[in-house]
């Protein structure tokens, strides 16, 4: 039974959810970008602004560039670019493209909007985290010392206008590819063609999705054609397609699977917030879907309001405050249109296509956010296709949030070897 406080909070929240709220405020750079039309070549920089950076020997810019989503509709994404100061080598500087983990789905959740966005990765959940969100670039200073250009996309919808297609890896992966094109096109940074993509969590999914977008990588007429992808580093990557079996052909079977999938994603309010954003982002990618297929009328209004206005950790706090342990009441007892939703989850996820370059995955045994079975199945699929995909279990009992820092010494060497053309043994299991 709800306490009086919970009843009052729920009543206030239910009333508030019937009102119309403007999108949260963003800095002037993003406010201007959100008014722009997404037209131009993929990777084309349509706005840029040089900013201060705390990294030594660097110069940095906020940029907006042209991208496209999983349905090839043109979008605008924003990003941060950092590069060494001074003349670049004749062949240009290698590119490291960073794909961040979940920050939220509202326009003000893009990591490049945070003060000093080029600093080292700040993880909200860890003891030394000192922010309300995760932001920053892992090993940015080290990559600058090695002479690389680093570009860190916000993804579409996190400062560039439009609805963020959260956890739609096919869209997020395109944003990462186009961020590398954007960096390569900027004469100020002296970037060349050699490219490595690295990402964590949502960004890990974007990384392995990008690895399999062969035709998209090969498109001509972009801001920077023929980038040379040397490797992909995925930290605890998500892959919905790998864990969702082939969708049933009958609606009853699809409803059963959709219900099971939903229940697996809502055991606590933190994961529930991610699930709600995932529904909202998938519906943004596939407009024919309706949130009310899975959520109650109130649940759909709440998901829309919070996804439009709050970043992920604040969203979870709001669910906890307004609903306590009753947040699951926002789910319909029985989902409808499940077949279409399951097809959308798979369609927007990682394609089962052999990557263009080696992939390495780092993971921890205590990861309760992205089930390790996701990347285990991905590795099996890709290795069966002849790909070179290694999967490295980190020492100790690492969580989802310790994975980036603990894996850093390992992937820094891996990246350096790829940039230097060092031969790589096949990382697929031998049995």
Give 32-84 pLDDT, tens digit per residue. Answer: 999 999 999 999 999 999 999 999 999 999 999 999 999 999 999 999 999 99
Same domain, 224 and 253: no
Q: What is the mean pLDDT of residues 225-250?
A: 91
Q: Can you tell me which residue has the tokens 């709800």?
A: 2
Average pLDDT, whole number, for the chain? 93
HSE (side-chain half, CA atoms, 13 Å) at 185: 24
C-alpha dihedral (335, 165, 315, 125), degrees to nearest 10:
120
| 68 falls within a domain | yes
Same domain, 36 and 150: yes
Closest-CA residue to 72 (of 217, 258, 216)? 216
| 389 falls within a domain | yes
User: Domain of 171: which CATH number?
Assistant: 3.40.50.1820
| 363 falls within a domain | yes
Same domain, 251 and 329: yes
Q: Are strands 45-51 and 191-200 parallel, antiparallel or unpaired?
A: unpaired
CA distance 346 to 262: 15
SS3 291: helix
* Domain limit, last residue, from 320, 346, 372: 346
Same domain, 233 and 256: no
Same domain, 81 and 149: yes
Number of domains, the chain: 2
| 231 falls within a domain | yes
How much of the chain, in percent, has pLDDT values that exceed 70? 95
Q: In this predicted model, which residue has the larger pLDDT, 9 or 188?
A: 188
Low-confidence winner among 55-64, 82-91, 123-132, 327-336 (lowest mean pLDDT):
123-132
| Residue 379 pLDDT level (bands cut at 50, 70, 90) | very high
* Domain limit, last residue, from 346, 372, 398: 346
Phi, psi of 5 (to 5 degrees): -60, -45
CA distance 365 to 403: 10
Give the residue numbers spanning the domain of 331.
4-24+247-346
The 191-200 sheet, strands edge to edge: 45-51, 58-68, 74-84, 149-156, 93-99, 191-200, 228-235, 359-363, 389-393
Same domain, 329 and 406: no
Closest-CA residue to 300 (of 17, 15, 11)? 17
| Model confidence at 208: pLDDT above 70 | yes
| Residue 22 pLDDT level (bands cut at 50, 70, 90) | low
């Amino acid at each position: 039974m709800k306490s009086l406080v919970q009843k009052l909070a729920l009543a206030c929240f239910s009333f508030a959810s019937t009102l119309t709220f403007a999108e949260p405020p963003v800095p002037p750079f993003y406010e201007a970008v959100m008014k722009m039309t997404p037209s131009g070549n993929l990777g084309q920089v349509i706005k840029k602004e040089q900013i201060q950076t705390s990294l030594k020997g660097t110069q940095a810019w906020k940029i907006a560039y042209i991208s496209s989503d999983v349905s090839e509709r043109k979008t605008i994404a924003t990003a941060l670019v950092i590069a060494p100061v001074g003349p670049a080598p004749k062949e240009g500087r290698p590119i490291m493209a960073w794909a961040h983990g979940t920050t939220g789905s509202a326009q003000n959740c893009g990591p490049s909007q945070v003060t000093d966005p080029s600093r080292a990765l700040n993880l909200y959940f860890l003891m030394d985290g000192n922010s309300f969100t995760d932001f920053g670039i892992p090993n940015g200073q080290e990559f600058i010392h090695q002479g690389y250009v680093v570009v860190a996309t916000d993804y579409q919808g996190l400062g560039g206008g439009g609805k963020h297609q959260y956890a739609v890896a096919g869209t997020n992966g395109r944003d990462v590819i186009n961020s590398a094109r954007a960096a390569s096109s900027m004469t100020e940074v002296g970037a060349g063609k050699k490219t490595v993509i690295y990402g964590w969590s949502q960004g890990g999914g974007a990384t392995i999705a990008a690895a399999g977008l062969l035709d998209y990588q090969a498109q001509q007429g972009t801001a920077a054609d023929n980038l040379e992808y040397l490797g992909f580093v995925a930290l605890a990557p998500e892959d919905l397609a790998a864990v969702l079996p082939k969708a049933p052909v009958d609606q009853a079977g699809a409803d059963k699977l959709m219900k099971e999938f939903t229940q697996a994603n809502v055991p606590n309010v933190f994961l529930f917030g991610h699930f709600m954003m995932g529904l909202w982002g998938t519906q943004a990618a596939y407009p024919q879907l309706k949130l009310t297929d899975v959520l109650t009328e109130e649940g759909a209004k709440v998901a829309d309001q919070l996804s439009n206005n709050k970043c992920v950790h604040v969203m979870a706090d709001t669910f906890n405050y307004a609903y306590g342990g009753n947040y699951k009441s926002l789910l319909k007892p029985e989902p409808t249109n499940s077949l279409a939703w399951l097809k959308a989850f798979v369609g927007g996820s990682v394609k089962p296509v052999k990557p263009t370059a080696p992939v390495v995955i780092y993971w921890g045994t205590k990861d309760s956010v992205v089930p390790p079975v996701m990347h285990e199945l991905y590795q099996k699929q890709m290795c069966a296709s002849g790909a070179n995909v290694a999967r490295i279990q980190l020492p100790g009992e690492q969580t989802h949030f310790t994975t980036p820092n603990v894996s850093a010494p390992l992937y820094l060497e891996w990246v350096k070897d790829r940039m230097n053309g060092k031969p790589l043994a096949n990382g697929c299991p031998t049995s």
